[in-house]
């Protein structure tokens, strides 16, 4: 990976620890800087203290005050520049349920497919 290029920052939000680590792993291998959170509240705290996040990559079903879809809506309202990619193993939201022109990726992720998708969104 070219270390000279400005690395974009992605926030990975997922409550299942190993799955979160794996997602972070894939993204770091693809050259991104990665921040992480275990639920929506933690994610909001991260976003409040880091203004360089370019993409929110979040699971939908999470414990806590809100799920990934609701988090996406909130992020879209408060930080409209942040792109959105949601993921789930159970649900398949329709396009109009995801704010902005946020995208969706079904679990389980193929590594290549996930990296390609994120590069596409941030291009």
CA triple 82-107-23, angle to 5 deg: 55
- Sites of contact with another protein (CB under 8 A): 16-19, 21-23, 25, 29, 61, 89-90, 92, 106-108, 110-111, 113
Q: Smaller CB distance to another protein: residue 22 or 79? A: 22
CB of 69 to another protein, least distance (A): 16
What tokens appear for 14 in the block? Answer: 């997922």
CB of 78 to another protein, least distance (A): 29
CB of 19 to another protein, least distance (A): 5
Q: Smaller CB distance to another protein: residue 28 or 42? A: 28
CA distances from 83 to 3, 17, 19, 42, 121 (A): 23, 23, 21, 18, 7
Q: Smaller CB distance to another protein: residue 61 or 79? A: 61
DSSP conformation letters of 64-93:
SS--HHHHHHHHHHH-TTSEEEEEESS---
């Amino acid at each position: 990976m070219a270390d000279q290029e400005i690395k974009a920052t992605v926030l990975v939000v997922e409550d299942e620890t190993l799955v979160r680590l794996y997602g972070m792993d894939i993204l770091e291998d693809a050259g991104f800087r990665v921040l992480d959170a275990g639920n929506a509240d933690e994610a909001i705290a991260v976003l409040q203290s880091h203004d360089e996040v370019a993409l929110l990559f979040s699971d939908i079903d999470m414990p806590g005050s809100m799920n990934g879809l609701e988090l996406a809506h909130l992020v879209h309202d408060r930080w409209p520049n942040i792109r959105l990619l949601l993921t789930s193993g159970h649900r398949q939201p329709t396009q109009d349920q995801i704010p902005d022109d946020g995208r969706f990726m079904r679990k389980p992720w193929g590594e290549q497919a996930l990296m390609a998708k994120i590069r596409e969104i941030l291009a």
